[in-house]
Amino acid sequence: MSEHWWRTAIIYQVYPRSFADSNGDGVGDLPGITSRLDALVELGIDAIWLSPFMTSPQRDAGYDVADYCDVDPLFGTLADFDALLAAAHERGIRLVVDLVPNHSSNEHPWFREALAAGPGSPERDRYVFRAGVGKGGTLPPNNWQSVFGGPAWTRITEADGTPGPWYLHIFDSSQPDFDWSNPWVHDRFREVLRFWLDRGVDGFRVDVAHGLVKADGLPDYEPPAGGSMGGDAELAPYWGQDGVHEVYREWRRVLEEYDGERVLIGEAWVLPLRRMAQWVRPDEMHQTFNFGYLEAPWDAVALRAVVDESLAAFGGVGAPSTWVLSNHDVIRHPTRLTLTPPPPQGEGIGPRSPRVDEASGLRRGRAATAFMLALPGSSYLYQGEELGLPEVVDLPDTARQDPTFIRTEGRHYGRDGCRVPIPWEADAPAAGFSPTGSSWLPQPAGWGSHARDTQRGIPDSTLEFYRTALAARREHGLGAGEIEWLDAGPDVIALRNGGLTIVSNTGTTPVPLPVGDVVVASGPVSDGELPGDTTVWLRAD
C-alpha cells in the first residue's frame, strides 16, 4: 500500500447506529457493517472512520463512553470488531476508530469511583470537580454553557447525602470532562491507544481534539451568539489551550512505535485555519477535518478563498489539506448548501424550518461534491451522501434523541436529521437497513427511492456519479496533484489539476462549457453549456 496513504485518502465515515442492522433490533451493528463492506469497495474508498461503538449508555449516541476497551452489546462484541477489521484489511480498506478523550460517560467506573471516593481523593482529580459559589455553593463555579445548551456544570450529592461540588461537562451532564492536567489521565489514554493499536487499527479520529485542556482558573466566558462547537475558539477558555498539543505529541510517539502508518485525525474545530493547522504540525496529528471548508457557502469567490486559505495554512506546516462537506453533526450538504444562511452548527432544522426543494438541493450537493473531489489532499465522505440523501426534516419531536434537542427543550432540533438509518434496498423492510423493518429513528416516506439498489448501474444516479468521480480522481492522481486557478467569469470557479480542467458554475445562469471531453459531470451538460449548480471535469488532449 502506498506511502503516506492518508495524504490522498478517501475516508468514509460509518455511523454504526445507522449503517446496517444485522440482528433486527433497529440499531446498526458491527456484523451489519462487515456484511456490507463490498458496497464500499465498489464505491472506491480507501479507509473507514468508524464512529464510536465502545460500551456506552448511549446518551450521546456513543460519544459517552463507559469502557474504552470493549464493544457495546448494542453493536456486537470484540470478536465482531476483529472480524470487521480483518474483513476491511482483506479488501485493502483501512479502519480508523473514534476516540473520545475529552470526557467519559458518567457511568464509566472511573467517574463512579471518583464519586464514591469522596472529596480530596485522587479519584476525584481525574475529572474537573469544583466547589460552587454563592451561599452554600448553590451556584455553578463559573458561567460556562454546555455546547448542547444549559449550564456546563452539574452538582453532585455526596454519599452521606450532603450537597457536594459541581463537575464540568462541556457537553451533556452524562459526559463529565476529564482533568488533563492529571498524569493519571494521560497514562490511561496511552493504554487505550495501545489496546486498539495492538488489535491492528489504522488510527484514531480524536473527538473534540481542541478541548481536553482548560485555561487555568476556569475564567468566566461569554460566547458570542450563535457560537457552536468551536466558532469562537480563539478566545474560549475551554478550546484550543496551548497544553493540548502536548497530549498529541505524546500520542504521536506511541503511534510511531507501531508498524504501518497509523494516523491521528483531529476534530479540532478551531478557526481560522492557520490556527487549526497547529494540530497537524509534524510531531502532532496527521490531519484535521477542514471545518473552514465545510462552513463555506456554495459561492465561487468564497470557495476559491477557502481553498487558498486551506492550502496555505496546512501547507505551511507540511500537512495535506482535507476536505469535507458532511458528517453526523451537521445538516447534510445537499440541504445545507441550499439554506442561505444555514443555521449555526448543531441547531439543525425540522418541521418548522424553511423548506428546501430536494431536487435543487441534490443538484447543488452533487456539484459541490464534484468540486471537492477534484482538490488535492484527503476527502471525507459521510455515509449516505453517495446516495444523495437529504437532511430528514420531518422527524417527530417524540423520535428525536440528540441531547441538544432535549437540553434546549426543543428550541434547537439538533443533529438527528442527518443520522436516519440509510436505505439499501427499496423493497426490503426498513429499506434494507434492518431485517425486521425496525429503525431507531424513523425513515421518512419514500426513503426507499434513494436506496442503493435503485441507483446501482443507473448512469446518472448519484451513486454512479460518486463512483465515477472517485475512480477518475484516482486515475488522474488528483489527490496528490497541485491546483492552478484558471480565469473564470462571475459565479464560476475553474482550476486545473492532474491534467484535468475542473469547472463549477455556482450561479443559476448557464455559462459556455470549455472545450474537452467530459470525464465527470455532476449533472446534465449539453449544447456546449454548463448549467447552474453543476461541476464538470474535462480532459483536453
Q: How far apart are CA 3 and CA 540, in angstroms?
A: 30
Q: By C-beta, is 13 or 501 nearer to ligand GLC?
A: 13
Least distance in angstroms from the C-beta of 541 to ligand GLC: 45
> Which C-beta is closer to ligand GLC: that of 60 or that of 72?
60
Letter string b/e over residues 429-465, b meaning 16 or more CB atoms within 10 A of that residue's CB: ebbbbbeeeebbbbbeeebbebbbbbbeeeeebbbeb
Nearer to ligand GLC, 16 or 31 (CB): 16
By C-beta, is 21 or 172 nearer to ligand GLC?
172
Interatomic CA distance for residues 234 and 486, integer angstroms: 34
Q: Cβ contacts of residue 467 below 8 Å, gap of 6+?
A: 42, 43, 44, 386
Task: Report the distance separating Cα 385 and Cα 208, nearest Å.
Answer: 23
Q: Which is nearer to ligand GLC, 127 or 537 (CB)?
A: 127
Cα separation, 492 vs 533, whole angstroms: 10
Catalytic residue annotation: 207, 267
Which CB, 229 or 306, lies closer to ligand GLC? 229
Residue for grid cell 463507559:
66
Q: How far is CA 446 from CA 357, 423, 451, in A?
A: 15, 10, 10
Distance CA 270, CA 290 (A): 10
Cβ atoms within 10 Å, residue 311: 18
Distance CA 541, CA 517 (A): 8
CA distance 151 to 212: 18
Closest approach of Cβ 51 to ligand GLC, in Å?
8
Number of Cβ within 10 Å of residue 541's Cβ equals 5
Q: What's the CA gap between 153 and 166, in Å, rounded?
A: 6
The nearest distance, CB 128 to ligand GLC, in angstroms, is: 16
Dihedral angle, C-alpha 389, 390, 395, 399, nearest 10 °: 40
For residue 107, the minimal CB distance to ligand GLC (Å) is 15
- Smallest distance from ligand GLC to CB 206, Å: 10
Closest distance between ligand GLC and the C-beta of residue 492, in Å?
34
Query: Where does residue 227 fall: left (phi above 0), alpha (psi -120 to 50 degrees), or beta otherwise?
Result: beta
Residues that bind ligand GLC (CB under 6 A): 60, 63, 100, 171, 207-208, 229, 267, 328-329
Q: Minimal distance in Å, beta carbon 59 to ligand GLC? A: 10
* Residue 175 or 443 having the CB closest to ligand GLC: 175
What are the start-end ranges of the H helices in 322-383?
333-336, 358-373
Measured between alpha carbons, how far is 144 from 170 in angstroms, rounded to an integer?
8
